[in-house]
Structure 1
């Protein structure tokens, strides 16, 4: 991992989480395909790339295997302009995700148990390392990777606060990674403790049984700023005891929805760094999501 002394300035945001190699068949489903593409998949790096594209200094922090797929991820993310706070592991591989495209939706299959990123543990990022950072962002995917990752996220919240950084947390529930019962309790605790929390209305209903944005706010009363995303309806922000702010989603011809939530978070966080008001931040989130919804990938292609 790079030393802070080697950086010309401190990043405004640090995004913490796993990035995987993404294998997508191009000529048939996984059970019959003979050709495929290799890309990248990872919520936190998606957010980092979006905030960089908006003109801000961002670091992505994680662990990768000391293998060709790890090299590929570093090369791609480095070309996107983010700082790479990455440890390499000689004994654990880079995680892999397979996508099985379908007419109505795509199925995904994870091969990330025991990955290098799953070995992140308490002490991975300290308050000293985060000095000067304005926002630390992670998601509910990270604590689901392993017990040590869950402990790391708990400590990350504490370290960020000690460094006077805001904690941003996207619930981002991934059903294949853990049980509903375990996810419900852990995600509720972290979402309620964050300074900024993003959650989809549908995923909140799935894991907590809360149906409306107001019910989600009542369930997460301590989060300083709660953003509830409701697909093509719009997004509602609850800040303190103020009246909620709602901004409708634009009408979009969707090519693929994967990655839109990460893009929304990147637009919202970039606008937060710019000092925009709450409605403008929600609009920036929608605009960033719209750009991803109109392409068949999580991130725009590199030039």
Structure 2
């Protein structure tokens, strides 16, 4: 199945905050940790890094503080092959910070980002480069929750009708409940998502936002605007809905080290496929393959499988891909076995 529309090939601009991240090493509750590992974490820069891994020109647009953490963040994103030329340094505001707190029921994240450099971003960031030469702008629902100016930025980007925008826009709902204490998330995120060309949303987060009985069909009725709506059903499958109908591809089974960052990796893989005008099933497969890279590491950005493995898996007949897919009653299976020579 092919998409009825796909963005023009070209550079992708990923706009949003990236923070320094501290996590216990080895993983354990923060209260018991003796050592912390320093890395970087940001949904939009994660997408940019994975796009760069796939050979797609990617630019990260944001702001960091004039501090050691800001320099660490900028360097880490640049080291992944992402253009950080247009990242601003704010001399008055700090770089944001998060702490990961692993526990028996999952990992909780504690944010220290109020008043950060990125929270001061505003609509003026959309003027000039790097957006003048972009084929696609990638945004998430995290940015409009950071501040009034950040919400104005995302709103302005999505205000023009799709046909009048100089670039396509992808939007990952990425609902972070802790960032929306006023209860406005359902209304704001629905309005923003419905204006984007491509939308990514988890079925579970959609149900949390807009109704516990939502199905993929009901979600399409709720968000009729996007040209492509991608609904991720946990580790089971992902469905892309377009004017031509719906296409569902099972996820790959894998032993999960940490789920943080997998959604960003999936979005990058899918977008990379779409920018190459791949048929939707192959774009979804590329999303799943990229997500595995994040699931197998404690950080947000892990190495992609080898190019030979990716090419082989993209060419598998549907039945053979299904053998590696997840589903009810399936136990974990280390995806490394799928990539065996």
Paired position in structure 2 for 1:19: 18
Paired position in structure 1 for 2:301: 299
Paired position in structure 2 for 1:95: 96
Paired position in structure 2 for 1:256: 258
Give the Å deviation of 1:262.
0.3
Paired position in structure 1 for 2:198: 196
Once the two structures are superposed, the pairs formed by residues 1-303 of structure 1 within 5 Å of their partners are 12-26=11-25, 28-84=28-84, 85-126=86-127, 129-158=130-159, 164-179=166-181, 181-209=183-211, 210-240=213-243, 242-300=244-302
Of residues 161-170 and 229-238 in structure 1, the stretch that sits farther from structure 2 once superposed is: 161-170
Give the Å deviation of 1:157.
2.6
User: Number of paired residues?
Assistant: 292
User: Residue 139 and residue 184 in structure 1: after superposition, are their counterparts in 2 closer, same or farther (change >3 A)?
Assistant: same
SS at match of 2:131: coil
Give the Å deviation of 1:185.
0.7
- Residues of 2 paired with 1:233 and 1:300: CA distance? 21
- Residues of 1 paired with 2:241 and 2:186: CA distance? 21
For structure 1, list consecutive stretches of 5 or more residues without a partner in the other structure.
1-9
For structure 2, list consecutive stretches of 5 or more residues without a partner in the other structure.
1-8, 305-341
Contact 1:126–1:159 (8 Å) recurs in 2: no
Of residues 209-218 and 90-99 in structure 1, the stretch that sits farther from structure 2 once superposed is: 209-218
Q: Deviations over 1:234-273 (max 9, x none)?
A: 0111112x22111111221211111110000000011111
TM-score, with structure 1 as normaliser: 0.92
Give the Å deviation of 1:275.
1.0
Of residues 51-60 and 242-251 in structure 1, the stretch that sits farther from structure 2 once superposed is: 242-251
Paired position in structure 1 for 2:338: none
TM-score, with structure 2 as normaliser: 0.82
Of residues 29-38 and 101-110 in structure 1, the stretch that sits farther from structure 2 once superposed is: 29-38
Contact 2:14–2:58 (8 Å) recurs in 1: yes
- Residues of 2 paired with 1:160 and 1:100: CA distance? 42
- Residues of 2 paired with 1:60 and 1:98: CA distance? 22
Q: Deviations over 1:169-191 (max 9, x none)?
A: 00000011113731111110011
Contact 2:161–2:195 (8 Å) recurs in 1: no
Larger CA Rg, structure 1 vs 2: 2
Contact 1:11–1:59 (8 Å) recurs in 2: no
Q: Deviations over 1:85-136 (max 9, x none)?
A: 2111111100000001113301110000110000001111226642231110
Runs of 4+ that moved beyond 4 A: 158-163
Q: Deviations over 1:136-166 (max 9, x none)?
A: 0010000000011000111223579655211
Contact 1:12–1:57 (8 Å) recurs in 2: yes
- Residues of 2 paired with 1:234 and 1:29: CA distance? 31
Contact 2:296–2:302 (8 Å) recurs in 1: no
Contact 2:144–2:152 (8 Å) recurs in 1: yes
| TM-align CA RMSD | 1.9
